[in-house]
Amino acid sequence: MTDLSPLLAKADESLPQSLERLFELVRIPSISTDPAFKADCQRAAEWLVKELNDLGFTASVRDTPGHPMVVAHHAAASEDAPHALFYGHYDVQPVDPLNLWEDDPFAPAIKEKDGRKVITGRGTSDDKGQLLTFVEACRAYKAVNGSLPVRITVLFEGEEESGSTSLKPFLSANEAELKADFALVCDTSMWDRETPAIAAALRGLVGEEITITAADRDLHSGLFGGAAANPVHILTRILADLHDETGKVTLPGFYEGVEETPSNIKASWDSLGRTAESFLGEVGLSIPSGEKGRSVLELTWARPTAEVNGIIGGYTGEGFKTVIAAKASAKVSFRLVGDQDPAKIRDSFRAYVTSRIPADCSVEFHEHGGSPAIQLSYDSPVLTKAKNALSDEWPKAAVVIGMGGSIPIVGDFQKMLGMDSLLVGFGQVDDRIHSPNEKYDLNSFHKGIRSWIRILDALAKN
């Protein structure tokens, strides 16, 4: 085992300088969505390039039609070490309403909050503080060993908060340069202050809109009611029958590619103590919906869903109108897990709906996107190494979690560069990212640096 203590000690003693560098970066108001800050985005990119070049990376600002990318490369101490792509973003969200900030969002400071030291300012948590945890870990390696244990390519984006317009074209134009063995993405949160988390499962999505047409015009429900088909009735029955009484989705083939979560992972989720009451209590509910007999974490991280997101049909205005509508429509989305195939799910849904439309009525479908789930194998060596490394640093063992939604960059890395991503971040739920009074715990920054030192060492080993 490598003795990491000189590296960790270096990170500890350099913390004041690391913080000063974070402050410098936070002082640059790199708000990507507002053209007034275009020069500041450029300045933030140049600042990062200078830092990386000073560390011995070959770094450059790379122009795009929007804000520039930062790309940097550094070789590993050993030829056969793995190659990691590290991703973060230097752009930040706008700061309005400014009057709700207790301090200047671009004048970072250390403050005492609820008995903890926090770093205040826009971007301290999302994502400048997070990306610098990695850069500062590299700095400690260079200072102590003169080298890095893993070959590293860095990609910093400047449009993450404004739609990442340039990202896909940039990835495809620079595929060979950016492809690594795996990606490290630092833009997520810990489970809690003591428990680090690695996200290994992100649900995919299929969006469908259906419109059912019955009569060729809206009808008087007294004259036609009882004889003419009512599309609202047809639609709602179809939607209601998407689930059986146990909460399972009834579409043929829907669960193809859905695997049960390994029991040790399920047990670790159970140990997090997230009950239905605590999870749903935050939104005024208490009884889990969906599939019976599964925890709320399993339901939101590891199980697929069918949800009706909207229904339109008939008269919904003021007063009352006795009408049988000509049309009724609904927007329906499916969250996917494991190897579920978005195209197959869409086909199955369309076949199911079509089969239930009366012969004198019709249905039209409109597609609203589709992307598969991302699932890192729970026993992947990279995941296990990072998990153990994090567990060595924090009071509680790292937990491998899922995420109910998707993170586009992870799908792009997978699809365009054929790379799995490891999502490791040190944010806290109360960091107020995107809101006034954003902060990053000093402990997140400090132990985040130490965590990357440990992770890089672990990843370098076979």
Question: What dihedral do alpha carbons 222, 227, 228, 233 form, nearest 10°?
Answer: 90
Provide the CA 265 distance to its chain's centre, in angstroms.
Answer: 20
Min dist. Cβ of residue 127 to Zn ion (A): 4
Nearer to Zn ion, 93 or 295 (CB): 93
Residue 167 CA neighbour count, 13 Å, CB half: 22
Nearer to Zn ion, 41 or 76 (CB): 41
Q: What angle do CA 390, 394, 398 make, to 5 degrees?
A: 50
The rounded distance, in Å, linking the Cα atoms of 53 and 41 is 18
Task: Give residue 186's identity as a one-letter amino acid code.
Answer: C
Nearer to Zn ion, 210 or 374 (CB): 374
Asked if 389 contacts 460 with a C-beta cutoff of 8 angstroms, the reply is no
Min dist. Cβ of residue 456 to Zn ion (A): 22
Nearer to Zn ion, 157 or 208 (CB): 157
Task: Give residue 420's identity as a one-letter amino acid code.
Answer: D
Min dist. Cβ of residue 285 to Zn ion (A): 29
- Widest CA span in the chain: 87
Min dist. Cβ of residue 157 to Zn ion (A): 10
Q: Which stretch, 133-141, 184-192, 235-243, 271-279, contacts Zn ion (CB under 5 A)?
A: 184-192
Min dist. Cβ of residue 162 to Zn ion (A): 11
Nearer to Zn ion, 143 or 407 (CB): 407
274, containing H or E segment: none
Min dist. Cβ of residue 156 to Zn ion (A): 12
Q: Which stretch, 185-193, 274-282, 292-300, 401-409, contacts Zn ion (CB under 5 A)?
A: 185-193
- Tell me, by CB under 5 A, how many residues bind Zn ion: 3
Q: Which stretch, 69-77, 181-189, 195-203, 209-217, contacts Zn ion (CB under 5 A)?
A: 181-189
Could you tell me which residues come within 8 angstroms of residue 93 by beta carbon, excluding any fewer than 6 positions away?
Answer: 31, 33, 122, 126, 161, 433, 434
Sign, CA torsion 280/281/284/288 = positive
Nearer to Zn ion, 186 or 373 (CB): 186
> Quick one: the chain helix, strand, coil %, rounded to 5?
35, 25, 40
* Tokens (6 digits) for 28: 């640059």
Query: Could you give the string, one character per residue 83-122, with x where binding to Zn ion holds by CB under 5 A and - elsewhere?
Result: ----------------------------------------
Q: Which stretch, 136-144, 180-188, 243-251, 332-340, contacts Zn ion (CB under 5 A)?
A: 180-188
The rounded distance, in Å, linking the Cα atoms of 275 and 298 is 11
Give the footprint of Zn ion on residues 317-336 (CB under 5 A). Answer: none
Nearer to Zn ion, 329 or 451 (CB): 451
Total residue count of the chain as it appears in this document: 462
Q: What are phi and psi of 21, to 5 degrees?
A: -65, -40
The rounded distance, in Å, linking the Cα atoms of 115 and 456 is 31
Min dist. Cβ of residue 407 to Zn ion (A): 9
Nearer to Zn ion, 136 or 187 (CB): 187
Give the footprint of Zn ion on residues 333-362 (CB under 5 A). Answer: none
Min dist. Cβ of residue 160 to Zn ion (A): 6
The rounded distance, in Å, linking the Cα atoms of 119 and 441 is 6
Cis status of the peptide bond prior to 34, with omega within 30 of 0: no
Min dist. Cβ of residue 257 to Zn ion (A): 30
* Tokens (6 digits) for 308: 């009706």
Asked if 377 contacts 383 with a C-beta cutoff of 8 angstroms, the reply is yes
Interface residue with Zn ion among 159, 187, 298, 431 (CB under 5 A) is: 187
Nearer to Zn ion, 187 or 441 (CB): 187
Nearer to Zn ion, 189 or 333 (CB): 189
Min dist. Cβ of residue 239 to Zn ion (A): 35
Q: Which stretch, 183-191, 288-296, 424-432, 454-462, contacts Zn ion (CB under 5 A)?
A: 183-191
The rounded distance, in Å, linking the Cα atoms of 90 and 252 is 45
Give the footprint of Zn ion on residues 126-165 (CB under 5 A). Answer: 126-127
Using CB under 5 A, list all residues that contact Zn ion.
126-127, 187
